[in-house]
Structure 1
């Protein structure tokens, strides 16, 4: 059973981490939650019923852990700090362009976070490259076409802004 989780971690660890980055916008929190996700998966591996892909199952665990974290932070605000948006930027850009880029990135992220929760999550999952449309559809209990159409409509809303 432990070997199976190690295999899952090797295969899906980056996808789960990318998914959590899209939710948390904080690399440190995403890393902690990724580790907790696989710990929870190890504890509940016998309950996995193959109704969805392993990746979808792991992302559901991750999502639930994130919601639990948000709830905890609601009651203990000092436990959560505002994410460092520059920590997500791995490119080397001149300082003046960094400022413009950071402002643009912040504006776009604010617009994304004003979208309804479902649309926001789909946009972020696709933007990080964490999941395919099929996997996103499974995560929401729908199909890939639904995810593709929802993504397109959310992008259209963002373009209007």
Structure 2
């Protein structure tokens, strides 16, 4: 007779229900930002070459939209486990060492994400205190800093979920 842990099923059930919502929200936001980038570039090129009047601040907006796109996509990439991986213990046959390697990789990944989130939080606070804005459009830069901090925080949680499920698979 096989006994299963009820808490594992409820945790798996919650994650399987939350994951599509996260994918839809962040994926939709990425789609909107990507569409804005494409639209801005097309309009800027047409305005520049046909009317000799480029879009004011197009370079700044492109930079901000690219940063936004990267920060929105990071948790999705992490949750899907699509980061570049290096198999250092590929030749290891021991299941214990493989699980130990997965545990260490997970702890390091989550720790680095948390560290970057803390640094970005500190940087965003400085930008907000100083009132720093972009040069021509005067868009507050702290908004991107806070988005980055939130992105890395959510990515740390996504990494924990991903490594937990991978760790459970290897069991």
TM-score interval, normalised by the smaller of the two chains: 0.3 to 0.5
What is the TM-score normalised by the length of structure 1?
Answer: 0.33
What is the TM-score normalised by the length of structure 2?
Answer: 0.32
